[in-house]
Amino acid sequence: MRFSGGIAVALLASAFFAGAARAGDFASFQPIGFSEDGSVFAFEEYGVQDGSGFPYSNIFFVDTRKDTFLPGTPIRLRIDEENTSLAKVRAQTAAKAAALTQKLDLGANPGLLAAFNPITETESSPHRLTYRQYAVDPPVGGDFTLTLNEIPFAPSALCKDVTPQSAGFRLSYQTEDGTASDRVLHTDTAIPDSRKCPTGYRIGGVMVYNPPQGEPVHVVLVQVLSVGFEGRDGRWIAVPEPAAP
């Protein structure tokens, strides 16, 4: 069978985009909310695993004061059936998280997605992000500027046959509310196994919550880039701003 030029081009493009859609697996991010006092932030990451085609959903509850997960969390679920819908796995993790979500009243305190810089953004720096903490016009307050530096690490025993070098990161402010700063939010001294075989990082966004009492709570969203089955994968971690000295 012969195809005309237009049809051939369309088929070639269709095959290319189908292949591109399978290359790598970057999880979507969905904020769930904050506790009233801002001491807890919860979010979901979800997607379809590259290679297997299995849908997954992970829900994280972060103690913003201790930079730890709440006991019994994260809630992670993957359904090992290729034709299972993403909606099904997300509904199951939401059900598992419902008691804690309701106890903390997270739906009443959604917070503000003050900045978002996904992998699809082509004109923003992956390692630098500037934002304001209030969604008002004219603006109130000064800029907050974040910078991320990748730190080389020797790969773990699990990763040495996958990548010649792993990566950690250092996250810090250059400005806070318009004032020059060099405050460090996070520095890796080792790479947690949960990151698998990380090869890089991006500043993916910032959540800000203004509690009824106390100072605003900032949580930086970092995308972890790791070696996947069909390309680089992306997952999310939340780095709460430590209390100012």
Determine what percent of the chain is predicted with pLDDT higher than 70.
89
**Domain ranges across the chain:** 24-240
Q: What is the mean pLDDT of residues 163-187?
A: 96
Where is pLDDT greater, at 8 or 152?
152
Please give the single-letter amino acid code of residue 98: A
For residue 20, name the pLDDT band (cuts at 50, 70, 90): very low
- 133 pLDDT exceeds 50? yes
What is the Cα 159 distance to its own chain's centre?
Answer: 22
> Can you point out the beta strands (E) in the chain?
28-34, 40-48, 55-63, 68-69, 75-78, 112-116, 128-131, 144-153, 166-176, 179-180, 184-187, 198-209, 217-227, 232-240
Strand partners, 42: 33, 61
Residue 88 has φ and ψ, to the nearest 5°, of: -65, -50
Query: Would you state the pLDDT for residue 162?
Result: 87
Q: What is the mean pLDDT of residues 47-70?
A: 94
114-127: pLDDT as tens digits: 999 999 999 999 99
Average pLDDT along the chain: 89
- 36 pLDDT exceeds 70? yes
Of the candidate ranges 25-29, 67-71, 184-188, 225-229, the one whose mean pLDDT is the lowest: 225-229
67-113: pLDDT as tens digits: 999 999 999 999 998 789 999 999 999 999 999 999 999 999 999 99
Task: State the pTM of this model.
Answer: 0.88
For residue 7, name the pLDDT band (cuts at 50, 70, 90): very low
Q: For residues 49 and 53, what is the distance between their CA atoms, to the nearest angstrom?
A: 5
Query: Would you state the pLDDT for residue 12?
Result: 35
Tokens 């974040």 -> residue: 146
Query: Would you state the pLDDT for residue 24?
Result: 64
207-230: pLDDT as tens digits: 999 999 999 999 999 999 998 777
Query: Would you state the pLDDT for residue 9?
Result: 37
